[in-house]
Structure 1
Amino acid sequence: MTATDPALTALAQGWSALSLLHGQIESHIERLLQAGHGLSVREYSLLNTLSRQHDGDGGHLQMKQVADAVVLSQSATTRLVSRLEDRGLLSRYLCPTDRRGIYTDVTPEGLALLERARPTNDAALRDALAEAARNPALAPLVRAIEEAGVPLASAPPSAVARGAACAPAAEAVS
Structure 2
Amino acid sequence: MTATDTALTGLAQGWCALSLLHGRIEGHIERALQAGHGLSVREYSLLDVLSRQHDGEGGHLQMKQVADAVVLSQSATTRLVSRLEDRGLLTRYLCPTDRRGIYTNVSEAGLRLLAEARPTNNAALREALDEAAKVPELAVLVRTVESPGSAA
- Structure 1 length normalisation: TM-score? 0.85
* SS in structure 2 at match of 1:104: strand
Comparing both chains, which one has the higher relative contact order based on Cα–Cα distances under 8 Å and sequence gaps of 6 or more?
Answer: 1
Taking only aligned residues, the RMSD between alpha carbons, in angstroms, comes to: 1.2
Greater fraction helix: 2
CA deviation after TM superposition for structure 1 residue 149, in Å:
3.7
State the distance in 1 between where 2:150 and 2:107 align.
28
* SS in structure 2 at match of 1:129: helix
Distance change >3 Å, CA 87–CA 150, structure 1 → 2? farther
CA deviation after TM superposition for structure 1 residue 148, in Å:
4.2
Percent identity of equivalent pairs: 80
Name the aligned partner's letter for residue 48 of structure 2. Answer: N
Number of corresponding residues:
152
Distance change >3 Å, CA 150–CA 116, structure 1 → 2? farther
Counterpart residue number, 2:115: 115
Say if 2:3 and 2:9, in contact at 8 Å, map to a contact too: yes
Name the aligned partner's letter for residue 87 of structure 2. Answer: R
Counterpart residue number, 2:129: 129
Find out whether 1:11 has 2:11 as its counterpart: yes
Q: Structure 1, residues 27-85: CA drift from partner, whole Å, max 9, x if none?
A: 00000000000000000000000000001000000000000000000000000000000
Name the aligned partner's letter for residue 130 of structure 1. Answer: D
Distance change >3 Å, CA 4–CA 20, structure 1 → 2? same
* SS in structure 2 at match of 1:103: strand
What 5-or-longer segments of structure 2 have no aligned partner?
Answer: none
Q: Structure 1, residues 71-110: CA drift from partner, whole Å, max 9, x if none?
A: 0000000000000000000000001111011000000000
Aligned runs of 1:1-174 on 2, under 5 Å? Answer: 1-149=1-149
Name the aligned partner's letter for residue 52 of structure 2. Answer: R
What 5-or-longer segments of structure 1 have no aligned partner?
Answer: 152-173
**Aligned structure 1 segments of 4 or more residues deviating by more than 3 angstroms:** 148-151
